[in-house]
Amino acid sequence: MTYRVKDEYVLKTVAGEHIVVPVGSEAVKFHGMISLNETGMFLFSLLKEKKTLEDLVRAVLDEYEINVELAYKDVLDFIEKLDEHRILEHFD
């Protein structure tokens, strides 16, 4: 499975906070906001292009000093969070 953030969502930094912002027609449907930490911002940026779970885990392992199990857990948790808000597109 490959994932990508929908074009209707962008990442903005406001007063030092990294926030996912809906644009266009999604702005009407999306209620609330999602604030991201540094790792979330890193993953969100990667997901502007199609990435597999393995691509994302590898990138996290290259960027941060973290073990494989925790990297998988963190990436899966992040994907789940974006899926809850229907921010991701899925490709086979």
pLDDT tens digit string along 39-77? Answer: 999 999 999 999 999 999 999 999 999 999 999 999 999
| CA-derived radius of gyration, the chain | 13
| Angstrom distance (rounded) from CA 36 to CA 15 | 13
Q: Which residue has the higher pLDDT, 92 or 42?
A: 42
Give the pLDDT score at 7: 93
Mean pLDDT for the chain overall: 92
**pLDDT grade for 33, boundaries at 50, 70 and 90:** confident
> What integer is the mean pLDDT of 24-33?
68
Q: Please give the CATH topology (third level) of the domain spanning 2-91.
A: Outer Surface Protein A; domain 3 (3.90.930)
Instruction: For the chain, give every domain's residue range.
Output: 2-91
| Angstrom distance (rounded) from CA 14 to CA 28 | 21
Give the pLDDT score at 31: 67
Whether the pTM exceeds 0.95: the reply is: no
